[in-house]
Amino acid sequence: MDRIDPALEDIELELFVRALRQRHGYDFGHYAPASLRRRVRQLVQTHGTGTISALTGRLLHEPEFVFTVIEGLSVPVSDMFRDPPVFRALREQVLPLLASWPRINIWQAGCASGQEVYSLAILLEEEGLYERCQIYATDFNPAALRRAQEGIYPARAAQAWSRNYLEAGGRHSLADYYSARYEFIKLDQRLRRNVSFANHNLVTDKVFCEAQLVLCRNVLIYFANPLQDRVLGLFRDSLVRGGFLCLGLRESLEFAPSGADFTALDANLRIYRRNVFTAPDGKA
Amino acid sequence: MIGCSAGGLGALKPLLRALTPPLPLPVIVCSHSAEPGTGLLVPLLARHARLPVREARERWPVEAGIIHLAPPGYHLLIERDRCFAYSVDEPVHYSRPSIDVLFESAADAYGAGLAGVMLTGASPDGAQGLARIRQAGGLAIVQDPADALAPTMPQAALDQAGADHCLPLARIAPLLNELAHCA
Ligand SMILES: C[S@@+](CC[C@H](N)C(=O)[O-])C[C@H]1O[C@@H](n2cnc3c(N)ncnc32)[C@H](O)[C@@H]1O
C-alpha cells in the first residue's frame, strides 16, 4: 500500500491546475478542492500515470489530451427530470408566468449530455410555449455537448426517467418522445429545433443573452464560494428583472453576496427570481 | 466516521444510542439507506441517539458533539477546512452517497486524527476509503464479520485495509466513547 504524502500531492495538484490554466485556458483554481482532488486522482488511475505530475506532463505535451482531462473533470452526470418536484414546479408555477413574455429565452448552463435540455423541451411543448422559446444549452465539455446534440442514452435509464416524467406531471408517456433501438434510446430530434448548443465556460466567459429563465442545476455545487458568487452574478446580469433562476436541490445562495439579488419563489425547490430593483452591476 | 449498508440501520441504532454526550468529537455517518426516497433517516436515527442528529449541510462546518448524516442522492465529502461538500459524481459501487468518497476526503482533511468504522453491509464500498484512512495515520475499526448481518462490507474492509480493531458491534461504541475522551 503506497503511503500518500499530502504535502507533495498538493504541490502536484497546484502545478496541474496551473498547467491547465496557462496552457489551455481552463481555470479550475476556484473549484471545490475535495471533489477536484478526487477527480484528478481518478484521472491518474484511469490513465495509469502513477502521479499527478505525469498527468501534467501529458497535458503539456499532448495537444488532444486536454479534452480527455476536461471530460474527466467535468462530471457530466445527469438524468431526465431529476428531482421531479422541481420539474413539476417549473411546469405549474414558472411556465405560466413565463407565458407573459412574447419571446422567451432560456439559458441552461452546465447542460451535460442534454438530459435536462430534452426534459425542459418536453415541458415547454406540453404547456404550449415551445414555439415562443429559444433555449441556449451550454457546457464547457465538448464531448458532453456532442452527446447532448445526439440525444442518445442507454435504454436502461428509460424506466427511471419515465417514472420521473410522470411524477413531474407528464401528460403522455415519455416513450412518445423517444425511439428505442437495441440498448439505446434516441430522443425525438424535433425537441431541439429551438435549441442552440454552445460551448461556454462559466469561469471565463461572459453574458451572451438576455434570459427569462436560467436553469443551472448541480454545477455550482462544484464551485468554491467566490466562484459561486461570480457565476450567480453572471446569471443575474443575464436575467431580465423578475426572471427566474433554478438551481440544484442542495445548492443555495447563502454563501454568495450576489444571492441578495434574488428572491425565493420556492426556497425548498431552489427556484428564485431576480429582484426587480437591482442594477445590473448588483448595487441596489 | 461511520459507514454501513445492508443491515446498517439495525446496527446504527444501538451504536448511536451508546455514544454518550457530551462528545468532544464530531460523528459522521454514511449509510446506503440514505439513497433517494428515504428522507426519513434523520428523524429515525434521532429517536435512537442521545446526541443531536442532523443531515450534513453543504458548505457548513463539521461540528463536534453532533451526528451528521450523509444526504440521500449525493456524495458527501469533507474539505481540508473541515466543511462539508457535496457532489453528484457517478455512484461508487452503485451507491451515492458512497463511503469510499467520504472516507477518502476525510482522510485528507483529518489525517491521523480520524477513526473510520465499518459496519455491516453487502457492498465493497468503503474498503478503499478505510485503507486511505489508515495510510493517512488514522484508525480503522471494523465490525467482526461474524457478528454482522451482512458480512461482505466488513470482510472487504479487512481484506483491503486491515483493521486496528475488529470487534463485535456492542464493543464499538464504548471504544469510540473512550477514544473521544482521550483524543
Ligand atoms: C453534474 S452535471 C449537471 C447536469 C445537469 N444540470 C443536472 O443537474 O442533471 C455538471 C455539469 O457542469 C459542467 N461544468 C462544470 N464546470 C463548468 C464550467 N466552468 N463551465 C460550464 N460548464 C461547467 C460540467 O461539464 C457538467 O456537464
Q: Where are the domains of chain B?
A: 2-182
Per the listing, cell 411524477 goes with: A167
* pLDDT tens figures, B131-175: 999 999 999 999 999 999 999 999 999 999 999 999 999 999 999
Q: How much distance in Å is there from the Cα of A162 to the middle of ligand 1?
A: 23
What type of residue sits at position A63?
P
Q: Which of B93, B123, B125, B147 is catalytic?
A: B125
Ramachandran region, residue A167 (left: φ > 0; alpha: ψ -120 to 50; beta: rest)? alpha
Cα A220 to ligand 1 centroid, rounded to whole Å: 8
Q: How far is CA B178 from CA A24, B1, B167, in A?
A: 52, 15, 15
The reply to whether residue A255 touches residue B85, judged by beta carbons under 8 angstroms, is no
Verify whether the Cβ–Cβ distance B88 to A221 is below 8 Å.
Answer: yes
B83-109 residue pLDDT tens:
999 999 999 999 999 999 999 999 999
Question: What pLDDT, on a 0 to 100 scale, did the predictor assign at position B8?
Answer: 82
Q: B89–A39: do the CB atoms touch at under 8 Å?
A: yes
Asked if the ipTM is above 0.90, the reply is yes
Q: Which residue of A has its CA nearest to B71?
A: A250
d(CA B36, CA B77): 18
Q: Report pLDDT digits (tens) over B12-60.
A: 999 999 999 999 999 999 998 755 555 688 998 999 999 999 999 999 9
Using the predicted structure, report yes or no on whether residue B3 has a pLDDT greater than 80. Answer: no
Query: For residue B79, which amino acid is it?
Result: E
Shortest distance, CA A254 to any CA of chain B (angstroms): 10
| pLDDT for the residue A1 | 45
Best mutation site among A140, A199, A216 for ligand 1 pocket (most ligand atoms within 8 Å of CB): A140
Q: What is the pLDDT of residue A284?
A: 43
CB neighbour list of residue B20: distance below 8 Å, 6 or more residues apart: B50, B177
CB contact under 8 A, B80 and A39: no
Predicted confidence at residue A282, as pLDDT, reads 47
Regarding beta strands A184-187 and A178-181, do their DSSP bridges make them parallel or antiparallel, or are they unpaired? antiparallel
CA distance B52 to chain A (A): 21
User: What structural domains does chain A harbor?
Assistant: 6-73 (no CATH), 84-274 (3.40.50.150)
Tell me the shortest Cα–Cα distance from B68 to chain A, in angstroms.
16
Pick B135's closest partner by Cβ from A3, A33, A252: A3
The pLDDT value recorded for residue B9 is 84
- Whether B115 shows a pLDDT value over 60: the answer reads yes
Residue A78 · residue A116 · CB < 8 Å: yes
Q: How far is CA A138 from CA A116, A234, B83, in A?
A: 11, 14, 30
Residue A204 identity: T
**In the CATH hierarchy, which fold is given to the domain comprising B2-182?**
Rossmann fold (3.40.50)
Q: Residues of A with CB below 8 A from B131's CB?
A: 1
Write down the pLDDT at residue A283. 47
Joined together, the cell numbers standing for residue A55 give 498527468
Ordered per-residue pLDDT tens for chain A, 284 residues: 456 778 899 999 999 999 999 999 999 999 999 999 999 999 999 999 999 999 999 999 998 999 999 999 999 999 999 999 999 999 999 999 999 999 999 999 999 999 999 999 999 999 999 999 999 999 999 999 999 999 999 999 999 999 999 999 999 999 999 999 989 999 999 999 999 999 999 999 999 999 999 999 999 999 999 999 999 999 999 999 999 999 999 998 999 999 999 999 999 999 999 999 765 554 44
The alpha carbon of A31 and the centre of ligand 1 are apart by a number of angstroms equal to 12
- Helical pair B127-135 and B99-110, crossing angle rounded to 10 deg: 10
Percent of chain B with pLDDT over 90: 85
